Every structure is written in C-alpha cells, then in structure tokens.
Amino acid sequence: MKVPRDRSSVLAVAGASLAAVGASVCCVLPLMFVLLGVSGAWISNLTAFDVWRPWFSAATLLCLLAAFWHLYGPPSRCPSDRECAEPSTLRRRRRRLWIATGAIGLLLLFPYYIGWFV
C-alpha cells in the first residue's frame, strides 16, 4: 500500500520562501537588476516595499515555524488516521528544511549585510 504524502511542510517552506523574497524585495531586486544590466529610474520605486518588510518577515517566520512543527512536532509522529512516514523520508525532509531555513535567513538578513558588499 502506498503511503499518502503530506504536503503541509512543503507548502509551509514554499510560503516562507515567498515571504522572504517579499521581505527582501526592496533591497535584493534593485541590486539583482543592476547586476543584470537593467537600469532605469523605476528601480528606485522598489524601495517603496521597505514598509512591508516587517510584515513579510513575520509571515516568513510563521511559515517556517509551521514547517518545523510539521516535521519535528506531534504531526511528524504516526497519527492514527494514516500511515507513518519512513525514517529516511523524514530525515531527508528535515535536512531540506534546514537548508531552506539557511537560504531564507540569508534573504531576510540581506538588508543588513548588503552594506559590506556595496
């Protein structure tokens, strides 16, 4: 019998990634566009998203918390209504979550360390 796949942690990590990009859009996108050779006065309009950074950061942290809850909390154990995930699958998902958390952390902290590079 095939074990049903639990997508809740994957959705939480995807949501955290999107929110982290939203939180750093004021700083990452203008630098990325300039590095790609795209220029124009409209790039400075992206700094208007700086007001939304705390909200996107909070959404990122909430999504990461949900992903950690699904992979380390009681939902990761064997519930009575479905079969357990294999230990190797659970280890792989946890490893990917930690890698995603590191990348998301770099995106969230980007506005604070960009000054070292520019």
- What's the pLDDT score for residue 95? 92
pLDDT of 3 above 60: no
**Which residues span the domain enclosing 66?**
8-70+86-116
How far apart are alpha carbons 22 and 56 in whole angstroms? Answer: 6
Residue at 63 is within a domain: yes
Residue at 90 is within a domain: yes
pLDDT in tens, 89-100: 888 889 988 998
pLDDT in tens, 49-95: 778 788 888 888 888 888 888 888 876 666 666 667 778 888 888 99
Residue at 81 is within a domain: no
108 vs 9, residue with greater confidence: 108
- What's the pLDDT score for residue 20? 78
**pTM of this structure:** 0.68
pLDDT of 1 above 50: no
- What's the pLDDT score for residue 17? 77
DSSP 24-55: HHHHHHHHHHHHTT---GGGGGGGGGGGGHHH
Backbone conformation region of residue 36, classed left if phi is above 0, alpha if psi is from -120 to 50, else beta: alpha
CB-based contact 43:33 (threshold 8 Å): yes
Total domain count, the chain: 1
Residue at 1 is within a domain: no
